[in-house]
Chains A and B, each alone.
Chain A
Amino acid sequence: MTDLAAVEAAITDAHRSDWAGMLAATARVARDLDLAEECVQEAYASAMKSWVDAGIPDKPAAWLTTAAKRRAIDAIRHDRALRSRLPLLVEPEEVLEEATMQELSHGFAEDPSEAVPDDRLRLIFTCCHPALAQEAQVALTLRLVCGVPAPDIARAFLVSETTMAARITRAKKKISTARIPYRVPRPAELPDRLRAVLAVIHLLFTAGHTAPSGASLVRPELVDRAIHLARMLGQLMPDEVEVRGLLALLLATDARRATRVDVDGRLLRLKDQDRSQWDWAALAEADDITLSCLRAGPPGRYVLQAAIASLYARAPSYEQTDWPQIVTLYDKLLDVWPSPVVAINRVVPLAMVTGPETALAELEKLERDGRLSGYQYLPAIKADLLTRLGRTRQATAAYEQALALAANEAERAFLTEQIAKGCAGDD
């Protein structure tokens, strides 16, 4: 008998680090995402009993994968008729036949993490296929790649469990009915398809970093999942510079997690944060990755964003930030990613270089563009610039505009406080 706590810990550990590989390998055998999910879950359940009786195996992940695949093969052989009526996952036939036959004749004791890394990539690219809506891509990635239970995903995105379950079911149904193939895209399609995957990971991170609504500023579980995914993708595609750039961006941004709110949960601006409390190990890692990416050739969107985040973090104090260099990086970022959001964020360092007046003119130009009328940080930045110019009344109006657009409680409290200050100053 093995200690129950030790078994539970081993299972939790295997769940965290190996779920994606297990599900991906099982899906290739099952050719049905629902069946694969079921088999992996059953494998975990059987591990509980078996490991208590016989001890924890040397390679828990390999044990679990083998168990899940066996179940899938049994299910296919014995009750095909009972299974879902949906068409099977599409993948090149010869690969499937070969893999399945080999497994049936030789058993399959291989370690999923070293033998077939491609399986996880197939899973990721299938979940993030452009034929699926982005909210479905995000939900599927969390469910299938990260193994997060659907009710937890529902809670993270503040929708009902039924809504989330329906979203996931619909996406799976489309994968099998429309025959979205279970494979890594061909080289010609890869850049576009990889962008979609990176966008999903980035969106997950953003939703966790500043929760779109609700009481707390950060949803740590989403942030951690996003970083885990970026790391996994980086290991699977070591030559893709933008993947590493994204990881660096997430690490550098999240390193400030502990200091973004004070003890009462109130928002602290970058200039008011205690830099000694930042996660310096994460910042060092982000810095290393960013530098190696910058050396690898013309930087893409994520590498440049990582470089900006790193540069902000490297300054000994807010005042000593290398503002001109940050503006230069923003200019480069606008070249590769001409997004109005980037143009607005550029105004912040610009104000430090040229003064608030020029920055305000630039911001008002962007405001007239109209594309970002619902973007809460536009009036918030504008309010800050107006405050610095002593135009308190207009600043208060801008803060009120920002408040009307903000749904996160920590941000709302911050904005309300600024409005109160402005009104007090007026008297």
Chain B
Amino acid sequence: MAQYAVLIYVQDSAHAPDATPEDTESCDQHSDELVDGGSMVMAYALTPRDMATSISGDAITDGPFVDSKEIVAGFYVIEAPDLDAALEIARFNPVVREGGGVEIRPVHSSYVRGDKQAAE
């Protein structure tokens, strides 16, 4: 098995500080499915672009690092035997059908506090 990070690209994150459960329903539901299916390793939903602060050199700026239509709204790590299997899981992310998309990247290594066995 290998681990793949799935980066979610959309115009903006649904997970605003004051988001209601309805706002984030489709994301949460999909996440629950992956957890139940056993492929989810970890998942992070990020707050909207307005909450982002970027640093480059000495400059600190308001907003996402890359100035583009889409931002990374969240990411999660799944476990799959090969790329085809990972793609098969990732393509069912609801954002893929809602004008956004996902990027799949093999994980090289990871660290999560409290996780003694960091993945290779």
Q: Which A residues lie at the B interface, using CB under 8 A? A: 87, 90, 129, 131, 177-181, 185, 189
A87 to B81, alpha carbons, bound, how many Å? 13
Give the residues in chain A near B87, CB-CB below 8 Å. Answer: 131
Chain B: minimal CB distance from A129 (Å): 8
Residue in chain A with minimal CB distance to B106? A178
Chain A contact residues, majority secondary structure: loop
Give the residues in chain B near A131, CB-CB below 8 Å. Answer: 83, 87
A213 to B106, alpha carbons, bound, how many Å? 37
Q: Could you jot down 23 A-B contacts, CB within 8 Å? A: A87-B2, A90-B81, A90-B82, A129-B83, A131-B83, A131-B87, A177-B106, A178-B83, A178-B106, A179-B2, A179-B81, A179-B82, A179-B83, A179-B106, A180-B82, A180-B83, A180-B84, A181-B81, A181-B82, A181-B83, A181-B84, A185-B84, A189-B84
Give the residues in chain B near A90, CB-CB below 8 Å. Answer: 81-82
A129 to B104, alpha carbons, bound, how many Å? 15
A179 to B82, alpha carbons, bound, how many Å? 5
Give the residues in chain B near A181, CB-CB below 8 Å. Answer: 81-84
Give the residues in chain A near B82, CB-CB below 8 Å. Answer: 90, 179-181
* Chain A proximity mask over B44-76: 1 for CB below 8 Å, otherwise 0: 000000000000000000000000000000000
A87 to B84, alpha carbons, bound, how many Å? 16
Chain B: minimal CB distance from A270 (Å): 43
Chain B: minimal CB distance from A101 (Å): 21
Residue in chain A with minimal CB distance to B108? A177
Give the residues in chain B near A87, CB-CB below 8 Å. Answer: 2
Give the residues in chain B near A180, CB-CB below 8 Å. Answer: 82-84
A178 to B87, alpha carbons, bound, how many Å? 11
Give the residues in chain A near B106, CB-CB below 8 Å. Answer: 177-179
Chain A: minimal CB distance from B11 (Å): 25
Give the residues in chain B near A189, CB-CB below 8 Å. Answer: 84
Chain B: minimal CB distance from A421 (Å): 49
A219 to B49, alpha carbons, bound, how many Å? 51
Residue in chain B with minimal CB distance to A185? B84
User: Which residues of B from 70 to 120 have beta carbons under 8 Å from A?
Assistant: 81-84, 87, 106
From A129, A178, A180, A185, residue with most partner B Cβ within 10 Å: A178
A129 to B106, alpha carbons, bound, how many Å? 16
A295 to B13, alpha carbons, bound, how many Å? 52
* A-B pairs with lowest CB-CB distance, top 8: A181-B82, A179-B82, A90-B82, A178-B83, A180-B83, A178-B106, A179-B83, A179-B2
A179 to B4, alpha carbons, bound, how many Å? 10
Chain A: minimal CB distance from B3 (Å): 10
A360 to B87, alpha carbons, bound, how many Å? 46
A64 to B6, alpha carbons, bound, how many Å? 43
